[in-house]
Amino acid sequence: MRLRRLRDEFPDRLVVEWRAFPLRPAPDPSARFEGTYREAAWARCQTAARDDGVTINRWRGATYPNWSLPALEAAKCVARHGAEAFERVHLRLYEGFFTHGRNIADRDEVTAIVRESGADMRRFASDYAGGEARHEVLRDYEAAVAEHGVRAIPTVVIGARRLVGLTEVAEYRTATEETGG
């Protein structure tokens, strides 16, 4: 939300290029929420998100998603439909996970979220089944690690600066202004 706000503030100077970064490139059957760093991070995000008008609810699902690759693949597929379609599905996936507790590790659940976004489902289904999006996600991941040393999300690269973690809009704005972005 903060980057979208900044993009609106600098419409002719700032381009946001979303890249996929799976925290777990393979499923982790031991992933859980309660009593872990995830629960603590979620609480910090809840507080910060309120200032942005975003609702983040505590995870209440029985099974915590053990990876995000299915959702990231779906976003890559829908990006082929155009920027507006990508924006809609990207937002729906975030809301699905953080606000509504939907399991974005489940391909059927992800497909339902994409359908709700109004995407072209025939095209999406073909792309999603094709497997190329997974390769694109993994290429994004490898490039982020190799080129920018990314190890966490969010990581935002503006010029030569790398901003890691929850960052205030003012800091993004300063970095953008410093680069002439």
Residue 107 counted as domain residue: yes
Tell me how far apart the alpha carbons of residues 181 and 47 are, in angstroms, rounded to a whole number.
Answer: 29
Range of the domain at 96: 65-148
pLDDT of residue 119: 97
Helix (H, G, I), strand (E, B) or coil at 89: helix
Asked whether residue 168 is domain-assigned, the answer is: no
Half-sphere exposure of residue 50: CA atoms within 13 angstroms, side-chain side: 6
Quote the pLDDT of residue 83: 93
Which residues of the chain fall below pLDDT 70?
181
pLDDT (0 to 100) of residue 51: 77
CA 65 and chain centroid, separation: 14
Domain assignment present for residue 55? The answer is no
Q: For residue 38, is it within any domain?
A: no
Classify the C-alpha dihedral 130-135-28-95 as positive or negative: negative
Within a domain: 137: yes
Residue 69 has what pLDDT?
A: 96
Residue 21 lies in a domain: no
In this prediction, residue 49 carries a pLDDT of 81
**Domain-embedded: residue 31:** no
Structural element, H or E, at residue 170:
helix 169-179
Q: Could you give phi then psi for residue 92, rounded to 5 degrees?
A: -65, -40
**pLDDT for residue 165:** 85
Task: Provide the 10 A C-beta neighbour count for residue 136.
Answer: 19
* pLDDT at site 181: 56
**Structural domains in the chain (count):** 1
Instruction: Report if residue 180 sits inside a domain.
Output: no
pLDDT at 54: 80
Asked if residue 124 lies in contact with residue 83, where contact means CB atoms within 8 angstroms, the answer is no
